[in-house]
Structure 1
């Protein structure tokens, strides 16, 4: 679990069947680009037009620009059991006019970020469940464009605008807990039924902080 990419990251361009697992990916911040992260596109993991990607049990922190960016119709993406933290732009999804992507985001500890937690633009099916959102100053889960988003059993703690949508987008939410949150908690539309695509098990939202503090990020038994 001690493998690290320091001062660097991954760029996946038109590739498929990729697993990025059990790594620390950290520290590309540029002092002359603070606080907006506009000059240097040094993402932790950037994906363009790729598919079947699994990002699992990583610790992704303090990058310049995005911690994770899923762009240009990247689809069949699963982001699970990661620590995604200490960033200005945490997790951006979109950069396309097409609404085709299918993305699952579950059991991630997303904390001490500003915006894009994630910002989810034009995603056909965005399933977010059992995430721990903590100390978010910009906004939480944002359903943009024509995205259909389902949020289940997420724990929001000290989050501004935990979940909200564009008028053209949809959000269906159930079972989540908000503690010391402010701003928008907006749902609307029927979105979709995740269980019609795959089987999964929900943990109670009340148990999510404890689970993720223990099991998110790199783990010694993985790969043994």
Structure 2
């Protein structure tokens, strides 16, 4: 039997955790914290491995979870936090440290990366306490229950969301969780699973969402279209008013989910969103797919679904149900491999596998449950929130004019934490991203400068983030070159004061590490 030893916390944390149950370090990474692997869109953009390869600690309070985060060497040091017992307002306090940014009354995963939170033992329950993910990446949440989180009344937590993500979140896998409320907005509750303000590459799998007015959303308003690439598979949505989910912009993939007791509407694709909806089972519900409560319509691709006692309202202003005979209105390409259970067995396989404390069972792809083989992956370092500084190697054949005295940079927009100047600092550890999936970044000079070659470099740890582009002479509006992806661009020698790199498409949020310019 293993014996826990005290977690060595920084001295600055010691006084913050006196009198509480603290996290304890376990001698080595535990297999129980690394069962299975991410699926769906969480496998893209470098993948989602959480705290794999890092220290494993045990926590029985919310403060201990915060203390474990704050006790790391850095905000990106991998860690697996095994949680047991009930986490609530009474045992969740802010802890300070250089590797964390926590708060009272909420599990705060802010400005961090490479973290796994997994329920073990007799189970982990977050009671009236939400999990907030902000400005973070590579996060796994597995085998926990989050219940009765309120945005009004007492106590309140996380804006009423059981799990909420916002502001440049990347690569999150939420698996085998139970998210539940005890009513709708009028009773003080909000969404069970919300994503907004540039949240991408997320998978929700083998989970239960129930007894709530709102299942969840992707995008906080019709203009918040920077989110997407979300997979929902083998989940149970039960006794929900609407939003299973509400999708504003972006792409989502829903397969092998069981939806039952949806009272007002279900998958609400709107504001240009595209949803691939296949081999799901809809039962005893109303308006399970369509565009609702807006005239800004979305689209869907449907295949293999079963509609069992589903009713449909009439089409009208701000109401565009997909039924009674749903047909595809778009096509959605899926970049990852996946196995489909037949829709007829979905209620049964979801009943046996979904939710916390079900043994982390999954489908074998033939409608039978199986337990994944425990794994302890070797240490990995996914792309961090701020990549390590790397000096840009100079290409042969001239001086990079972007670094010349009097050169500058600007653009159309910039995501939080990025800067136009990062594309001309000679450092691939910094970068610029637009505030969405498209945008322009420019190099400019105080006087006319002759340019005939450009090199676009993605930052360290990134590849394939840039889709189609145009290189434009800002002085005249002339297109100098067009193409896709990063690399070297040559064109006829042109005298100009400002040159624009305009990104017209991307598979997510594109990143430009360096925008180099050369005379020859």
TM-score (norm: length of structure 1): 0.89
* Structure 2 Cα separation of the partners of residues 70 and 132 of structure 1: 21
Per the alignment, residue 264 of structure 2 pairs with 138
* Structure 1 Cα separation of the partners of residues 270 and 224 of structure 2: 11
Question: Which of the two has greater strand per residue?
Answer: 1
Per the alignment, residue 245 of structure 2 pairs with 118
CA contact (8 A) 1:11 1:45 kept: yes
Instruction: Please point out which of 151, 169, 175 is paired with 2:298.
Output: 169
CA contact (8 A) 2:219 2:227 kept: no
* Structure 2 Cα separation of the partners of residues 220 and 131 of structure 1: 17
**Alpha carbons of 1:170 and 1:99: their partners in 2 closer, same or farther (altered >3 Å)?**
farther
CA contact (8 A) 1:76 1:103 kept: yes
Instruction: Please point out which of 92, 99, 102 is paired with 2:229.
Output: 102
* Structure 2 Cα separation of the partners of residues 108 and 193 of structure 1: 22
**Alpha carbons of 1:77 and 1:19: their partners in 2 closer, same or farther (altered >3 Å)?**
same
**Alpha carbons of 1:105 and 1:47: their partners in 2 closer, same or farther (altered >3 Å)?**
same
* Structure 2 Cα separation of the partners of residues 189 and 221 of structure 1: 39
**Superposed counterparts of 1:26-45, under 5 Å:** 26-29=147-150, 41-45=159-163
* Structure 2 Cα separation of the partners of residues 51 and 115 of structure 1: 26
In the alignment, is residue 4 of structure 1 matched against residue 157 of structure 2?
no
* Structure 1 Cα separation of the partners of residues 245 and 330 of structure 2: 20
Equivalenced residues, count: 216
Deviates more, 1:47-56 or 1:60-69: 60-69
Q: What SS does the corresponding residue of 1:41 show, helix, strand or coil?
A: helix
Deviates more, 1:58-67 or 1:197-206: 58-67
* Structure 2 Cα separation of the partners of residues 113 and 130 of structure 1: 18
* Structure 2 Cα separation of the partners of residues 220 and 134 of structure 1: 20
Higher normalized contact order (CA 8 Å, seq sep 6+, divided by chain length): 1
TM-score (norm: length of structure 2): 0.39
Per the alignment, residue 57 of structure 1 pairs with 176
In the alignment, is residue 77 of structure 1 matched against residue 198 of structure 2?
no
| Runs of 4+ residues over 6 Å off in structure 1 | none
* Structure 1 Cα separation of the partners of residues 345 and 309 of structure 2: 17
**Alpha carbons of 1:207 and 1:216: their partners in 2 closer, same or farther (altered >3 Å)?**
same
In the alignment, is residue 88 of structure 1 matched against residue 213 of structure 2?
yes
In the alignment, is residue 46 of structure 1 matched against residue 164 of structure 2?
yes
Stretches of structure 2 lacking an aligned partner (at least 5 in a row): 1-119, 183-188, 313-320, 361-372, 375-520
CA contact (8 A) 2:147 2:181 kept: yes
* Structure 2 Cα separation of the partners of residues 44 and 55 of structure 1: 12
Per the alignment, residue 206 of structure 1 pairs with 344
CA contact (8 A) 1:99 1:146 kept: no
Which is greater in Rg? Answer: 2
In the alignment, is residue 159 of structure 1 matched against residue 293 of structure 2?
no
Once the 2 structures are TM-superposed, how far is the Cα of residue 32 of structure 1 from its aligned partner?
5.5
* Structure 2 Cα separation of the partners of residues 31 and 70 of structure 1: 20
